[in-house]
Every structure is written in C-alpha cells, then in structure tokens.
Structure 1
Amino acid sequence: MNCFTCNNLRAGLAALTLLFASGATARAASPGDTTLSAFYAAPAALPDAPGRMLRSEALPPALHLGQAGQQLRILYSSTDGVSGHGIVAVSGAIFLPMGEPPKGGWKVVAWAHGTVGIADACAPSWAGRSQRDIDYLNAWLSQGYAIVATDYQGLGTAGTHPYIQTRPAAYSVLDAVRAALAAPLHLANDVVVIGQSQGGGAAFATGAFQPQYAPDLHLRGVVATGTPYISPHSIKGALAADPDHVDPTIAYLLYLLETAQDPTLAQSAIAPDAQAIAAQTAKVCLHATEQAIETDRLTRRKAFDPKAMAAALPALLSPLEYPTLKLAMPVFLGTGGKDHDVPTPGQILLAKDACAAGSDVVFHLYPAQDHSGTVMTSLPDSTPFVRAVLAGERPASNCATLPQ
C-alpha cells in the first residue's frame, strides 16, 4: 500500500489504534499460548486436507446458549492462513436450534466474533461470550439457523493468533463450516457469514476468499458490522487524532505487534512505558488490557517508539488488507454513527469502495449507536437480508444513496 511509505508516523499510529476494535499452564513461546485442556491439543497426525472434524465434545452448561439444542465444542483442520499452506488445528463451537431439523437440514450462520484478546484462554469456546453476543446468537437460533462459530487460528490452539489478518480469519471461518457440514448434524450447505468488529473484517474477508478457497461452500451473503478497513485513504481520517490521549484502543496495536511474524517488531517498537501491559496480553483478555491502559494513563506517544514503528508499519498492515472488494455475494454493512473503536468514516469508505468495485452492498447507518450498540440495533435490517439471500434472492443495493 502506497500509504505505508508516508513519513507521517502520527497518522499511521492513529489509524492502527482507531481502525480496529471489538487455569492454564505454559506451553510454548508463541504469544498467548497456553494449554487449556487436552481437547485443544492437535492430534499427533493431522489430516492432509482442511475442513476435517478432528474431535468434538459437549459444551459445558456454563457456555450454553438458551435457544440452542445440541451444543458442541469442536476441533477441526484448517489451512495455515499465515503461510497459505500446511494444516493447523483450530477450535470453535456449533449450536443447533431446538427441535427437529427442516427438510434439507438447518441453514447455517457462520459467526465471526469480535476482539477478545490474543491469549488462548480468551477463546470463546473456552471462556464464553459477552451478554451482547449471547443475545445476538440466540436471536438467530430462534429463527431456525444453526451457528458455526470459529475461535480463529491460534486462539485456543497452538501457535500465535494472527490478529485481524484477513486470510487466516477467512480460512478459519470457511473450514469450520466445511467440518460442520461433513458431520452428522443435519446441516444444509446454505451459508451466511456474520461478524462484528474483528469479526466484521473476518466476515468480509470470508466473502472475498471463498470463491477461490472454498468453492464447494454455498456462501449466500455476508453481514458485517463495525468493520475495519485498511486502504491508502483510510489513514487520512486519523490525522487529527491526539497522540497524548489515553486511549484503550492502544490494546489493538499491542496485539498486532505481539502477534507479528517478526518478534523483533514488538521488541523495538513498544516503548518501556507499555512493555508491562504488552507482556500481559499473553495472559489476560481485552477488558483487562483496556483497564490497565486506563490505569497507567497510557497514550500512543508513551506507548511506542516512533522510528521503530515507522519501520514496522508495512509488515503490520499488509496482512490486514482484503484481497478484493468485489464480493460474489451480497453484503450487508452496518455502521454506528458514534463508533469510535472503528470510526464511522472508514466504514462508510469501505462501503463506497466495495460499491465502486462492483459489490452489491446494502448499507445501514445507525446514527445514535456506538461500536457495540450497532450489533443488536442492526438485527431488524439484517434479518430480512439473511432470509432473502438464503432464499436465493439478491437484495437491492443502495450504493447510489450512501452517505457523503
């Protein structure tokens, strides 16, 4: 991306911190790696193909969704999205609606969760979900959709979690669905992917990668809210950000540095004032990290070494790009007008650029909602969208009337 060579480091740091949001024993040096339980350990011999179910077990009652019947924790094979080759084990969960499956099987919502942290102990199939996400997923279950919910590569399982990298996220989502469809669960190969924040990016990326990576899956549509977007233009909106503002979204940049393929990036770019908090990201989840940033009054100026960050930006940001903005299936984008975690202008720009690329975009702006509030508020609009695309329809795009 041309903007990565810009010499305005302040813009780059601001963009990074503004564009992204939402009982273990030591195992390895990879950031966040811990042994949760024997279930999460990959078998000695992995299959040579992605999308294979490795094992499953009943979810503990504490992790249940109220509208689900059968509820499973799963481990499945996926292509290593960082390198693009080789097989890794990824964890997740499956929730089936109550009652008997319809003729042809339950249609599938592939759920991509928002940021929870980079430590294995933060994986939703292990740690559970926020009340907001519980309510949201229950809403889809009550309508008769099965939910296949990846934890993402390296979150819960061995290896570093490649935080908000688009290819690993997409592969994790798609291979979870493949594994679920191959299991005796009465699922239909009719799928929509839905995600929020980090998961909004994962959902959009899933739509971008699916035609080439998983043409066997019938992905009918994409629903994404609070969706991050890295582009040559998206940094412009962050130019006015205050580098001396105490900002909990610094956590997202710490995650990017701590999970970078080159470990020297974190060692050189994270300033002494932030090193203790950065080290804790391998052990605690998002809320605790945000609280520590507030307690320590951490700002971007205090958190990062300017010269080292300038050198690190290209390596950090390149894996976050979408491979294409032209999706083969309709996409619903929901944006809060008061979203400060993933600022509203960048989300509108994504909608505009996706429209310009030829995507069928259905965009909804919720002026009174913040990053989190958009999730539930968007349901009355995303519900008919999902129903339509799963019926084989293409909802009318509103690209011509996007906000200016």
Structure 2
Amino acid sequence: MRVLIVALALFVLAGSCILSAAPVSSAPDGADFYSDPVPDLEAYEPGTIVRREPLPQFDVLGSHTERILYRSADPRDSAVSVSGLLITPTRAWAGPGPRPVIAYAPGSYGIADRCSGSSDLGLATTMPALLPLLAQGYQVVTTDYQGLGTPGEYEFLGRIASARAVLDSARAAAQRTDAPVALYGYSAGGVASAAAAELASTYAPDLSVVGAFVGAAPTDPVLRVDGQDGSESAATMLYTIDGLIGAHPDRADDIRALFNDRGRAVLDAAQDFCTIDALEYGPLRSEDLTVDGTSLGALMTGPALGPLTAANTVGFTAPAAPVMIVHGVHDVSVEIEQSRLLAHRWRVAGGTDITVREFDFGTELVPAFDHPAANAAAYPEAIAWIDGLVARRAEVCSTVCEFGEP
C-alpha cells in the first residue's frame, strides 16, 4: 500500500505542475447548478446537501463522485450555499469503526468563479490530489469555499468563512453519523484546514474531528503578502484585499482609497484571475500600487486594514484535536517561517498535540519545486498519522460510541 501511495503522490506532483496550465474556461460547467437560488435555504441545517449531480467520469478507484451544493453560514451567520465534491467509495470499509471522512480543503486556483475546485477547470487539479486518500478507502468531501462559484463574495483566506465551509462540508459527508473526520488542506487549503481546526469545537461540536493536516499554510496574511511582493505571482497578493473589500462593503471605499489608479486597476483585474492569469500578469511591487508608496504589508497593519488582517490571522486559538504541520524548507511560494510561527503560536495558546514535519529536498537551484513536492512527499506519513488517529478513536469508542456507516 505504501508503494501505491507514493506512486499516486508522484502523479499528484506531476499533475499539479501540468494541470495548472489548463486553459481557462469562460464559466463553470453547469452554471445553473451553482447560481440557481435554493428556496428556503435558511430552513436547512448547516451541512445539509441541497443539490447534487453525479460526475461518473470521475468515478475513480471504485468510488461514486458527485458535485454537491450544501448549506453553510457566513461570518455574519446568514445562510449561504457552498459547492464542492463528495466522493464515496463503493467497497466496504475494512478499518476500525465507521468509514473516516476526509474534509479536503483545496489550494487556490484563483478568485474568479470559474476557478472553483468542482468546476471543469478546478477538477483537473483537484481530483489527482485526492487519489492517495481515495486509495485508502476514505470518503472524501471537498469545498469550493463560500462565494467561489456560488453567489456572494469570496473572502480569500477568510478565517471564519473558510473554516465554516470546510466544517459544513464534513457535516454533508458524515450525514449525522459519528464518523471520524480528518481535516486536510495544503497551501491556501492549509489555511482553511487550520482555521477549521480552531473553530471545530465551537462551530461544529457535533463532528468527531480526530485531527487536522495543515500543509505549507500562509496563516499570517502579512507574511504572505510580504513573501509575494515583487515575485512572479505578486498579483495574488491582491486576492486578500479583494476578498476584504467584498466581505466588508462598508469599508470598501476606505480600502480602495489606499491605492493609486494603477493599484485600483490591478485590484479590479485580479477579481477575474485564475492561476495562469496571475502569473501572466507578471511581477508587481506593492509600493508602486499605493497612494503614498507604502508597502502592502505595512498597510495591512495600519488603521484601515489592521483589524481585518488580525481577524483573519490563524494561530491564536489552540485546536482541540491533534494537528500535523508539513512544509518544505526551501519553499518560496509560502516561506517555511509561516509554519514555524503557526506551531509556535498554537503551542503558546495551549496546543499540546502538534506534529511538525519539515522536508529538505536540497533544491536551492529549483526552489519552486519544494511547494508541490512537500505536498506529495507528505502523503505516506499523513495517511499513517490519520490511520493512527482513527484506530485510537475506535479503541476509545469501542464501548461508548454508536457507529454508523456513512
């Protein structure tokens, strides 16, 4: 099985490099699935599946794949519909207890609706990343996040919005059973997984969250922007600002006033960016985009953006469940200081079960390799870690839990 995991992980690595260059389509396939209103959405419980459609072309490794729309709650507690994927193995679960649910938080493909992970464009990258998990017989559910593909504003790396989207996707998969849930995310998805780990005990105490895998997660927004500033992917640093503008319309004018004409033009353009669009835009220096030449990182600690930045910084609430943090030492897409700071903050906050794994591939000459490579290399250890958590929970629950098969 370990050989199979490694082979699938290498396929994931290759796919992440190749499929990211897929041509951009004009809109998600089946736009009505995403945009048609759901009558009486408020009446449904969070996590309720309100729309679904089969995707038989993605029934891989003996599984049934569906695109789903489920009910969640935005940071203001209003009902919102969120799209994603639900992939259920058809063979019986051979492990202890009920079949585990992996609530998978995809990385960023961009902030335009057509970039959502369950769209045709997103599926090309999402599905390969799920193969090692599906090979284990886990049930896997993914989220597109609130407002990405569906109506509403997408708050990129928004702590509460992304956490709730992940946790409600887990509810959609677990379907009121006591199935163990593992949160799993890498890169931008790692932020969502980390945020969900922080909020699980208060927002979704009904879920049996056994652990959270957090890979190369830019959980500190200021560090993320500073790391991207001036790079080939610098346009992505504006995703956060666009998200804040959309999520806080009452502050939109104050935020936009921080930028000059060029900066506002890039902000507007970035709203329709997927990955390739951002890379093609080329390097930017934030000092050239602001009214007074102040860097974006500095502005994010100032009076207009500082409170919003603080609210979206992960690490100051200790997760109740065990966490595994993974990162590549030479990662230049998300610098390793992000994971080291996250582990430190969680420990200071009282976190006691935090595993940190750093991968050193010795790729100083090809540093961009480390970001996707650490994701692929971590699968065997992460899966063994999840299996251990599931077995431990099954042992504890052998006499006190009521199991059901999701």
TM superposition score normalised by structure 1: 0.78
Unaligned runs of 5+ in 2: 1-24, 362-368, 395-406
The amino acid that maps onto 2:258 is A
The amino acid that maps onto 1:380 is P
Structure 1 pair 280/37, CA: closer, same or farther in 2 (3 Å)? farther
Among candidates 233, 245, 254, match of residue 238 of structure 2? 254
SS at match of 2:207: coil
SS at match of 2:38: coil
Q: Could you give the per-residue CA deviations for residues 159-187 of structure 1, whole angstroms, max 9, x where no partner exists?
A: 1101101111111111112122228xxx7
Structure 1 pair 72/356, CA: closer, same or farther in 2 (3 Å)? same
SS at match of 2:370: coil
SS at match of 1:173: helix
Are residue 209 (structure 1) and residue 199 (structure 2) matched? yes
Q: What is the match of residue 386 of structure 2?
A: 386
Q: Could you give the per-residue CA deviations for residues 78-103 of structure 1, whole angstroms, max 9, x where no partner exists?
A: 1112x2x1211111110122424558
CA RMSD between the two structures: 3.0
Structure 1 pair 125/238, CA: closer, same or farther in 2 (3 Å)? closer
Are residue 194 (structure 1) and residue 178 (structure 2) matched? no
Structure 1 residue 377 displacement after superposition: 0.9
Are residue 319 (structure 1) and residue 303 (structure 2) matched? no
What pairs up with 1:5-404 in 2 under 5 angstroms? 36-48=31-43, 49-59=45-55, 61=57, 64=58, 66-67=60-61, 69-81=63-75, 83=76, 85-101=77-93, 105-129=98-122, 133-182=126-175, 189-230=179-220, 245=230, 247-260=231-244, 261=248, 262-292=251-281, 294=282, 297-305=283-291, 306=293, 309=299, 310-322=302-314, 324-359=316-351, 360-368=353-361, 370-392=370-392
* Number of residue pairs aligned between Structure 1 and Structure 2: 349
Unaligned runs of 5+ in 1: 1-22, 26-32, 395-404
The 8 Å contact of residues 259 and 290 in structure 2, kept in 1 or not, is answered as: yes
SS at match of 1:155: coil
The amino acid that maps onto 1:207 is A
TM superposition score normalised by structure 2: 0.77
Structure 1 pair 371/78, CA: closer, same or farther in 2 (3 Å)? same
The amino acid that maps onto 2:47 is G
Q: Could you give the per-residue CA deviations for residues 89-135 of structure 1, whole angstroms, max 9, x where no partner exists?
A: 11111012242455864211100011111111111111344766433
Q: Which piece of structure 1 moves more, 371-380 or 283-292?
A: 283-292
Structure 1 pair 60/264, CA: closer, same or farther in 2 (3 Å)? farther
SS at match of 2:189: helix
SS at match of 1:125: coil
SS at match of 1:258: helix
Structure 1 residue 24 displacement after superposition: 5.7
Structure 1 residue 351 displacement after superposition: 1.4
